[in-house]
Amino acid sequence: MKRITPLLLLVLAIIFFRSCGSTNVVEPAVPQPTMPSVVSLAPSTTPEASPVATTTLPAPQVTDPVNTTESTAVQIAQTLMERGRAASTGYSRDQFGSAWKDVDHNGCDTRNDILQRDFTTVVLASGNCKVIGGTWTDPYSNESYTFLEQPSGAQIDHVVALKNAWEMGADMWSADKREQYANDPLNLVVTIASLNQKKSDSNAASWLPPYKPGRCNFIARQVAVKIKYQLYVTASEKVAMLKVLSTSECQDTILPK
C-alpha cells in the first residue's frame, strides 16, 4: 500500500474547500425566441400607372366608289354632279359625227343593230342586216307596233339627247368621244316617231314618258348614261330623277348595262 505524503494531502484539501465554497450555479441557457425576419420593401421607383378610361369607338365609315352593279338607281342618282345648263352655242348634230356608224365593226350600222335588239320579230333585207320590218313594244307608250315595210315610223331615240349632253359637258369632248356617245347602245332605244319628236332635247325635268311604269327604266337609263360619261345635271333635272326613282314602283330599279 502506497503511503500518502503530507504534500498530497494539502493539495486535496485545497481542492475540496474550493469546490464547497463556490455558489456559482451554471444554469442552462434559455433559448431566446426567434423574431421573424422583416423584409423592408422599398417603394417602387416606377409610379403605379393610373387606370385609363377606354372608349370603344365605332368603326370608321369608309365611302366606296359607287358600285353601279349592286347599288339601286336612286342611290346612284344621288351622286350626280349638278351645274347650270351651258349655252348651246356651237351645237349641231354634226358635232357628234355622221349618223349611225358601224362602231362595233360587225358589218351593220348602229341604227340596224338597235332595231334588231329592240324588235320582238325582225324582217331583214335579203343578204344583209338591214331591218325592213318587224314588231316591237314602245317603251314610252307601252303600245305595240308592226312594220311590214321600211320601219320609218320607228325612230332611234338618244335617251340623253345630244344637245343636252352638249350643254352638260360634251362641248369639251373630242370629236371621237362625241361620235362614240352618239352611237352608244346604252343611250339608244327604239320609239315611235311622234313620241321621239315630243321628247326632242328635253331632260327629265321637262319630259317623261306617258307610260308611267316605263319611267323607272327611262330615268335609270339616263342616270347610267350621265354616270358613264360624267355629264352634269341641272338641279331641277336631279330633283325630277329622284322623284321618279324614289317611288315604290321604282326604288329597286337598277341601272341598265
What's the chain's average pLDDT? 81
Instruction: Name the more confident of 204 and 50.
Output: 204
For residue range 87-136, list pLDDT tens digits in order: 999 999 999 998 999 988 999 999 999 999 999 999 999 888 999 999 99
pLDDT at 152: 74
Between these two residues, 240 and 147, which has the higher pLDDT value? 240
| Separation CA 35–CA 120 (nearest Å) | 110
User: Residue 179: pLDDT above 90?
Assistant: yes
Report CA torsion sign: 143, 144, 146, 147.
positive
Tell me the C-alpha distance between 76 and 80, whole Å. Answer: 7
pLDDT above 90 for 248: yes
Instruction: Find the helix packing angle between 235-245 and 215-229, rounded to 10°.
Output: 130
What is the percent of the chain with per-residue pLDDT over 90, rounded to a whole number? 64
Nearest to 157 by CA among 130, 103, 195: 195
Distance of CA 228 to the CA centre of its chain: 16
Is residue 55's pLDDT more than 60? Answer: no
pLDDT classification of 193: cutoffs 50, 70, 90: very high
What are the φ and ψ backbone dihedral angles of 183, each rounded to 5 degrees?
A: -115, 10
Residue 44 is predicted with a pLDDT of: 38
The pLDDT confidence band at residue 70, using thresholds 50, 70 and 90, is: low
Whether this prediction's pTM lies above 0.85 is answered by no
pLDDT at 127: 83
pLDDT at position 67, please?
A: 59
Taking 50 as the threshold, does the pLDDT of residue 26 lie above it? no
Query: What's the whole-number mean pLDDT along residues 56-60?
Result: 34
What confidence category does residue 10 fall into, taking pLDDT thresholds of 50, 70 and 90?
low
CB neighbourhood size of 73 (10 A): 28
